[in-house]
Structure 1
Amino acid sequence: MRRRKLIVLVVAVAAIVGAGAFAVVAAGRVRGSAAQTAAAYFAAWRKGDVLGMERLVHRPPGDFVTRHRELSEKLHVDAITLTPGPLRSTGEESAEVPFAGVRLLTELGSWPFESTLRLAVRDQEWRVLWTPETLHPLLKDGARLELGEIDTTTAEFLTSEGARIPHDSYADAYLDPLKPEFAETHQGWQLLLKAPGQPDRPLLSRQPKANVERTTLSRAVQAAAARALDAVDDSTIVVVRPSTGEILGLADRLKEHYSAVRDVFPPGSVFKTITAAALLRAGLDPRSEVPCPGSYTVPGFRTITNDGGVDRGTVTFADAFAHSCNTTFVEQATTRLTSKDLADTAAEWGFGRPVVTGIGGSCGTVPETTDPDTFAEDAIGQGEVVTTPLCMAALAAAVQNGTWRSPRLLSKGEVRRIDGVTSDDARMDEDVVRALRDLMSAVVDHGTAADSGLPEGVAGKTGTAEVPDGPPHAWFIGYRDDLAFCVFVRHGGSGRGAAVPIAVRFLNGL
């Protein structure tokens, strides 16, 4: 009987000891693994299951769910891609998983980032040790991310072909003031990092699109005009398409805020094109023989001389034009024309017509006068006559095409909207036009622009305008095919010496 009781006691003691040992083993067991917890966290994150993520975090902050949802909402996150790297052990009960992520933002597109998911055993379980940097590495020390709007009302101008205006082509002074006429509000976006005590740091941006408007400028013509002026200060080239009036090139390097479109200058001998038109209409034939003495005195008034006092004797009127005989033009104008005749002819050839460009502009003035000395000077582009390079380009275009058209930098509809007026085309006298073409061809063939390197087919007129405040202004107007131009060099010297070489570079650069 005693033996049986002893056996029972031993069994009971053994049972108690065994149960205690099992309890000790069970108490030391860790539920799950770092890999399982990390995988579950990433899976919940991909699905947007923030509550599921929170359950895997050791002591999550009270705003854990709010932080995640607000970040996605404020940044307009459409989707997130997560690519975990290999799990790395950092201790007996700690590990980490480096991962790459890409957030797809509605306004800004893909935004990649890299971070690390840290894990550790807490309360016999593998848990995520979460910090704001887990959400994004920049979210530390109280930093936050913010998506903001960018508004702009800019406009961008293109060439007629739809290309960008050539860089440094000296057209900005005319295009920039036009931008308010075409500006429309467009919206862009910017992602900013805002850290306490630090300036905002832009991370991503999508700039607003500017409103795009095509001009009449030709990329090739504008580029060639700009390059032709590169070595010449205080100069400009205006290029017009005679058949349409479109401004193909407008390169302006004039100093002291002078404008080739709005400011007027004495034209010198290029104005003889107008005087010749008046004389032709009065009956003077290009083949008529006329005197070209070294000097000529208006009876009872002042004396006019040729450049260098050159006496050419008797020449045809065409040759007088080709060699720019001041004396011939003064004598013929003062004996065959009145000041009103000259002013009326100038008005027909642009001086009395609206210049409707879209960028403002004027043609100049040819005032009527009763003073014979002033009239004599007016006839050779001195005196009170003033004009713009723009108007002289339009004059050359009218000779080439036979129709005067207002130059324009924009479409006809936009020019009408901006300027508020229109300008009608004007057909010129065919006989006068035909004669002027011959006269301008003679200038290049054997006159003041001969042997200067101008390409075949160019016709033109040189001009040198005396001014009281410095060296003469240099001019050259001309055309070739459906392209007319004016080159002007303020205080440049002679037309042949300063303006013609620019025209040569321009035309050869096309």
Structure 2
Amino acid sequence: MRRARRTLAATATLAVASTMLTGCFEEPSPHDAVRDFLVGWQSEDYDLAAGRTDGDLATVRKALSDAKLELDAASFRFKIKSVNVTGDESKADFHAEVDLGENNPLWEYDGILPLHLVDGSWKVRWSPSVLHPQLKEGQRFAVDTKPVERQPVVDKDGNALQSDTYLYVVGVYPSKLGDQAEDVVAKLSEVTGYAQDRLLSRIRSSPPDKFVPLVTFGHSRYQAMTSKLAAITGIDTQPQKQPVNPDAPRQIVGTVSALTPETEQKLGGPQRAGDSIGKSGLQQAYQDYLTGSTETKVITLDLKTGKEVTRLKEWQGRQNVPVKTTIDRSVQAAAEQAVADTDTSALVAVQRDTGEIRAVATKNMHQEKDALAGKYPAGTAFSIVAADALLKSNVSPKQRLACPEERTVGGAKFVHAGQSTGVPSSATFQENFAKGCVTALASLARRVTAAELAKSASAFGMKQPWRLPLKSFSGSLPALSSDADKARAIAGQNVEVSPLSMALVGAAVASGTWRPPVLVTDPKSPDPAAEIVPTVQPAPVPVDPKVLPVLRTMMRAGAAGTPAQAGSGRVYGVTATAGGGLTWFVGWQGDVAIAVLSKNYNAGAVAGSFFAGLKNSP
């Protein structure tokens, strides 16, 4: 459709120019011949164009048709610049724009149409230089391309997060085909589904002695196609090693596939066979950076020797670069091991003082859709954020709170459901926080305003429009219009969060400052092909220095004596429930903060396994 729109717009532009020029000349005028020739060339009405020249009609028609094939052009667009008449001779200057169908600028050049009177009619004096001033007899156009290999996605130390695998590129050497090109293309089109005219254009537009990639297969599809391909005489297959097999975290890194007829049509032609296309994750989000753009030269070739005569235009293409992530392989390995024995879990680990994502591991959950972008009830894990608001409202961590099995606040009923086992009948706020007694925590709703809860939620990143190249969710807190709403919020029943957003909450308490998440450190700017909104990260938000040491003490109490404290070193955190069999752990050890969401499994035990598995753990 992009090509069609350009052609239509070009025709309209030339038609308008023609109308304007028509009034500037008295008949007889060369203008009609100039207009008809360029309109015919542009719209592929080669009979119209050839009829306005003094050349052999068949020769001119073929030359114009061949020019499009030789350039593999999506469209031509022309603008008449001037027409000058001297007696029975005339000269028209025109400007040409050629869409080469590559991920490069348009090829633009200025041309000249010499005209003379033939039996009282103006005719374009035909020669190859009519197509381009530097095209001579015995020459033709060609487009010489040099694809660049895909760059890898790498971890924070620059090591590739994928291994090499082979793609199989089927192509031809034009010089070996002779007059069999159309037959070979027809057979290849039939078995692969690629458009026959596009395959033929690629062959015709290339230097004859250069391998022209036409179709690319992954290993399994190539094996399935081997017998059909073997029956086509004249094609060659070249295995190409590319870094496309993702390592952990696989769904974050993403997958890559060979270009297919469907993706080629969807992408509109910038890629060619032999290219690899990111299908998911960072491979998709950073497609343009990882692939760059093809180095392209428009040249003329000698028809006899097939050698380059003149270089008419050259584009170096955009340099492709690796995408450097914040993933740490040792942290990722510990995360993978920690979730391995669970049924359904997600673990996100971040560097506490930078917000950099060190690991994303899941079991029967999706690393992007669930761990980064999932919307799950926060449960009593939200008590970390609520505690910030309550402490600012002068609720003492030593205040005594009853932890009954049931409690009603503002008409909303809360049940501890056994989660407060081990909580004394008149425990402190800190003890109820550590054990996750929902009835005790909900009772504090009247001690804090809705605005104070919302302010703390915002300070810990909820609803913040942070920037990540993949889908993510920063959390949501509804309007709190009653004590019941506030009680539900403190208990996390009307609050939605993602494992990523909660890992950042843990990191904020650990470091003293909430920071937005970071997954890619280089390139610095968003990928041109990705729609990343916003383009600027929100500013870090310090935790109130009066509240911070109290929160840390409460989270230390929350982790002490729990499965989360299974490894060496001091662990801080809370284990929480969220209903439906979901449990949370949010906390940190050393410089790594985590959030674990698990179903029908103790999230604290997953956290303990993770911390125990960390190499060089404090």
**Higher radius of gyration, 1 or 2:** 1
Shift of 1:237: 1.7
**Equivalent pair of 1:306/1:326 in contact (CA under 8 Å):** no
Q: Is the 8 A contact 1:340 1:368 kept in 2?
A: no
User: Matched residues, percent identical?
Assistant: 26
Normalising by structure 1, report the TM-score: 0.59
Equivalent residue, structure 2, for 1:404: 514
C-alpha contact (below 8 Å) 1:397/1:479 kept by paired residues: yes
In the alignment, the residues of structure 2 paired with residue 315 and residue 436 of structure 1 have an alpha-carbon distance, to the nearest angstrom, of 17
2:428 pairs with one of 286, 294, 316: 316
Aligned pair count reads 333
Per-residue CA shift, 1:88-112, capped at 9, x if unaligned? xxxxxxxxxxxxxxxxxxxxxxxxx
**Which of the residues 469, 475, 478 maps onto 1:367?**
478
Read off the aligned partner of 1:463 and give its amino acid letter. A
CA RMSD of aligned residues (A): 3.0
CA distance in 1, matches of 2:419, 2:381: 18
* C-alpha displacement of 1:326: 1.0
Structure 1 stretches of 5 or more lacking a match? Answer: 1-147, 188-208
Q: Show CA shifts across 1:133-179 (max 9, x none).
A: xxxxxxxxxxxxxxx97735633111111112273434334322333
When normalised by structure 2's length, the TM-score is 0.49
Could you tell me how far 1:412 is from its partner in structure 2? 7.7
Q: Match of 1:391?
A: 501
Alignment counterpart, residue 483 of structure 1, candidates 569, 592, 596 = 592
Kept in 2: contact 1:464–1:495 (CA 8 A): no
Distance across 1 between alignment mates of 2:327 and 2:486: 38
Q: 1:370 to 1:304 in 2, by over 3 A?
A: farther
Residue number in structure 1 paired with 2:398: 287
Q: Equivalences for 1:459-474 in 2 at 5 Å? A: 459-467=572-580, 472-474=581-583
Provide the C-alpha distance between the structure 2 equivalents of 1:473 and 1:358, rounded to a whole number of angstroms: 28
Q: Deviations over 1:196-219 (max 9, x none)?
A: xxxxxxxxxxxxx97322211122
Q: In the alignment, what sits opposite 2:555?
A: 440
Mapped pair 1:172 → 2:287: no
Query: What residue in structure 2 maps to residue 41 of structure 1?
Result: none
Secondary structure, counterpart of 1:176 in structure 2: helix
1:249 to 359, 375, 394: 359
List structure 1 runs of 4+ shifted beyond 6 angstroms.
none
Correspondence list, 1:24-63, <5 A: none
Rounded Cα–Cα distance in structure 2 between residues aligned with 1:450 and 1:289: 26
Letter in 2 for 1:362: F
Contact 2:331 2:358 in 1 (8 A): yes
Amino acid at match of 1:165: L
Task: Tell me the CA shift for residue 291 of structure 1.
Answer: 2.2
Structure 1 residues 180 and 246, CA, compared in 2 at 3 Å: closer, same or farther? same
Q: SS in structure 1 opposite 2:370? A: coil
Matches within 5 A, 1:155-166: 155-165=151-161
Change (3 A) 1:506 1:346: farther
1:455 to 568, 573, 589: 568
- The CA deviation at 1:272 is 0.8
- Displacement, 1:415? 5.4
Q: Where do residues 60-99 of structure 1 align in structure 2 (5 Å cutoff)? A: none
Contact 1:487 1:502 survives alignment (8 Å) = no
Q: Determine which of 228, 235, 258 is the counterpart of 2:369.
A: 258
Instruction: Pick closer, same or farther for the CA change 1:319–1:169 going to 2, 3 Å.
Output: same
SS at match of 2:465: coil
- 1:425 and 2:540 aligned: yes
Q: 1:206-235: CA deviations, max 9, x gaps? A: xxx973222111222122222323333532
1:364 counterpart SS class: coil
Q: 2:412, 2:437 → 1: CA distance? A: 19
Which residue is equivalent to 2:600?
A: 492
| Compared CA separation, residues 260 and 300, structure 1 to 2 (3 A) | closer
- Residues 299-351 of structure 1: per-residue CA shift (max 9 Å, x gap): 5542433525746211122111111111110001x220233332221111111
The unaligned stretches of length 5 or more in structure 2 are 1-143, 163-246, 255-280, 296-318
